[in-house]
Structure 1
Amino acid sequence: MEAIFHEKQEGSLCAQHCLNNLLQGEYFSPIDLSTIAQQLDEEERERMAEGGTTTEEYRIFLQQPSGNMDDSGFFSIQVISTALSVWCLEITLFNSPEYQRLRIDPVIERAFICNYKEHWFTVRKLGNQWFNLNSLLTGPELISDTYLALFLAQLQQEGYSIFVVRGELPECEADELLKRMKVVQRERPKLIGEETNQRTEFGQRVQNNDWEQAIDMSKSITNTLDDDEESLQRALTLSRQHMETEDEEADLRRAIHLSMQGFGPGTEDSEVTSSQNHLAQSSRTNQTETPTAEEIRRRRQAYFERKQHVQPEISDQAEKQSSTILKTSSASMTERELPQADVLKSLEAGANDNSKGKGS
């Protein structure tokens, strides 16, 4: 199929595409066809002038636009016929009664030119197979021999004018190649507009799918972030509760430790009081939050109540022990000093006796 020359539609130059697809090459340009159209216009003007240049008919003819071409790029059948005459090719109206009476099988022909509402396209045999070379298609369309007659009949019913091309067409690579092999077309070409619309629709579907996926991903990320934030908040709450419980237990242990060390009244009262105040505040804060803190508070309060009763007794016992120790110390010292006093008295008594003897 790549060997087949196929010009696609550009503007309204369907007549140019029709001729080049028929001849299988870039043989005609818009300038070539415009030149042919101008020549045909001049020939028609000369024929009209033969009847007189001052007649009403001639004046009206000059005022009318050209019937062989227009500004859009349309060219008449006269331009196409004149262009084909350069290659010694003629066209015959396939729809005419004269040709229909001949009962010629379309398969034995070489090419057809079809026109409907100023659009021209070619149907041509290349090798041993027929192809629809419409410039509005994305590529050549394979037509079987059995379907060719039905295809032309359908065009006639739709209002197409069909012309049979007679004569020797110029040689081309596709014709020589397809004489040695046959083409198998698995997918028929589409109209250029349909292909563009399908690409546009496909692109829109892809964009819509991408947008929906992006929205779904955004929702998923948002939900994940919300879940993570909730989990973080729960973790922070549990951590604060745990830290407060640990602080309260640490304060309780410190208060017990201070009370067991037996510090002085001033130090013990100030530190214990601050610990009590901190513990009471922590207890009030966590009283409504966790039952563990409430239980700790009750145990702490009970402990300090017992401590207040026990401290005076411990002080009294300490004083009694101190006085007893002092008394015992005094008694022991008296007992140790008594023999020494007796010795001193004996020495003094002896001294006195000796003094008495000497004096006598």
Structure 2
Amino acid sequence: MDAIFHEKQEGSLCAQHCLNNLLQGEYFTPVDLSSIAHQLDEEERMRMAEGGMASDDYRTFLQQPSGNMDDSGFFSIQVISNALRVWGLELILFNSREYQSLNINPINEKAFICNYKEHWFTVRKLGQQWFNLNSLLTGPELISDTYLALFLAQLQQEGYSIFVIRGHLPDCEAEQILGIMRVQQQQRPKLIGEEQAQTSAGRLATLSQTEMDFTVQSEVVDDDDELKKALALSRQDIDVEDEEADLRRAIQLSMQGAVLTNASSESSSGPARVDRESDGELRSNNDMLTADELRKRRQAYFDRQQHPLRSTIPSQDSTTAIENSCTEVDQQQQQQKPSL
């Protein structure tokens, strides 16, 4: 199949591709076909001028665009026919009465040119096999002998104009190779647009898969980030709980300090106040307390220093000692008062 010359579609140059695929080589360029088209336009202008250059028909003809070519690269059947005359080839309409009266089997012809809506393509026999050399295909398409008549009938039904090529086609490499061997085609070629669409779809599928993989990876990364954030928050909660616990302990300690302060103030305003209020008398009369009473009072003082919270509740011994001390003081005061 590599030996078969096959020009693929470029712009609207299907007429050029049709001729070159028919002749199996780069025989025509757009410049060559444009020259033929301009020559045809000049011949038509000269014929119109015969009716008078001042006539309305001639003026109208000059204002109209060329019917043999346009800027897109389209060329008319007249251009193709004149290009083939250079090679001694002519076109015969396939469904014309002249040709149909010959009752020729299509497989006995050499080539066909097909046209529909400004698109041209070639169907040609190379060796003993037929090939569809449409420039819109990605490669030559093998057509069996039994399918050729059906293929041409289908084209006619779709609105194609089919022209039979009469004359001797130039020799080519594909004709020589396929003359001694036959080829098989495992997979039919696709249309160029279809192949591009499938390629684009494949790229989109690959891109979608890549985006999906990226999304999955992003989700995994997001999950890891969320896990890290959750761990950080849990640590913050633990820190907050620890701080709250420390705060509670500080409050408790401060409350204990307040209790200690209150206890100290109470202790200073309690039994010690008796010492201050009766400072002059008690201190002068300390020698009058017994050694046992002094021992008990010192013990009560030490107990208050070691157990501050218990200092707010006087022990029974200290209470008894204070009461005894107060009783002795009262007795002494009564003894010292002058009798009335």
Bucket of the pairwise TM-score, normalised by the shorter protein: 0.5 to 0.7
TM-aligned CA deviation for residue 230 of structure 1: 4.5
SS in 2 for 1:70: coil
Match of 1:79 in 2: 79
TM-aligned CA deviation for residue 49 of structure 1: 2.6
Instruction: Work out the CA distance in 2 between the residues paired with 1:22 and 1:59.
Output: 38
Match of 2:157 in 1: 157
| Superposed counterparts of 1:1-360, under 5 Å | 1-227=1-227, 230=230
Look up the equivalent residue of 1:147 and give its one-letter code: Y
The normalised TM-score by structure 1 is 0.64
- The sequence identity of aligned pairs, in percent, is 65
Stretch of structure 1 that moved more, 11-20 or 48-57: 48-57
Look up the equivalent residue of 1:15 and give its one-letter code: A
TM-aligned CA deviation for residue 63 of structure 1: 2.4
Stretch of structure 1 that moved more, 178-187 or 168-177: 178-187
TM-aligned CA deviation for residue 160 of structure 1: 0.5
Aligned residue pair count: 258
Unaligned runs of 5+ in 2: 242-248, 254-305, 308-340
Instruction: Work out the CA distance in 1 between the residues paired with 2:158 and 2:213.
Output: 47
Look up the equivalent residue of 2:218 and give its one-letter code: S
Look up the equivalent residue of 1:192 and give its one-letter code: I
Instruction: Work out the CA distance in 2 between the residues paired with 1:70 and 1:86.
Output: 22
TM-aligned CA deviation for residue 184 of structure 1: 1.4
SS in 2 for 1:32: helix
SS in 2 for 1:102: coil
Stretch of structure 1 that moved more, 91-100 or 217-226: 217-226
Instruction: Work out the CA distance in 1 between the residues paired with 2:74 and 2:230.
Output: 73
Stretch of structure 1 that moved more, 216-225 or 10-19: 216-225
SS in 1 for 2:123: strand
> Which whole-Å deviations, capped at 9, do the CAs of 1:279-298 have from their partners, x for residues lacking one?
x97xxxxxxxxxxxxxxxxx
TM-aligned CA deviation for residue 19 of structure 1: 0.3
Instruction: Work out the CA distance in 2 between the residues paired with 1:198 and 1:183.
Output: 27
TM-aligned CA deviation for residue 48 of structure 1: 2.4
TM-aligned CA deviation for residue 178 of structure 1: 1.2
TM-aligned CA deviation for residue 61 of structure 1: 2.2
The normalised TM-score by structure 2 is 0.67
SS in 2 for 1:114: strand
TM-aligned CA deviation for residue 107 of structure 1: 0.4
Instruction: Work out the CA distance in 1 between the residues paired with 2:218 and 2:152.
Output: 57
Instruction: Work out the CA distance in 1 between the residues paired with 2:229 and 2:44.
Output: 89
Instruction: Work out the CA distance in 2 between the residues paired with 1:238 and 1:61.
Output: 96
SS in 1 for 2:44: helix
SS in 1 for 2:26: coil
> Which whole-Å deviations, capped at 9, do the CAs of 1:124-146 have from their partners, x for residues lacking one?
11111111111111111111111
TM-aligned CA deviation for residue 73 of structure 1: 1.1
TM-aligned CA deviation for residue 235 of structure 1: 8.3
> Which whole-Å deviations, capped at 9, do the CAs of 1:170-201 have from their partners, x for residues lacking one?
11111111112222111111111111122112
Structure number with the higher helix fraction is 1
TM-aligned CA deviation for residue 234 of structure 1: 6.4
Instruction: Work out the CA distance in 2 between the residues paired with 1:112 and 1:118.
Output: 16
User: Measured at CA, do residues 228 and 86 of structure 1 come closer, stay the same or move farther in structure 2, by a change above 3 Å?
Assistant: same
Instruction: Work out the CA distance in 2 between the residues paired with 1:54 and 1:221.
Output: 83
TM-aligned CA deviation for residue 34 of structure 1: 0.6
Look up the equivalent residue of 1:20 and give its one-letter code: N
SS in 2 for 1:74: coil
SS in 2 for 1:206: helix
Instruction: Work out the CA distance in 1 between the residues paired with 2:153 and 2:67.
Output: 28
Look up the equivalent residue of 1:161 and give its one-letter code: S
Instruction: Work out the CA distance in 1 between the residues paired with 2:74 and 2:47.
Output: 23
Instruction: Work out the CA distance in 2 between the residues paired with 1:90 and 1:115.
Output: 16
Instruction: Work out the CA distance in 2 between the residues paired with 1:23 and 1:86.
Output: 12
Root-mean-square deviation (Å) = 3.1
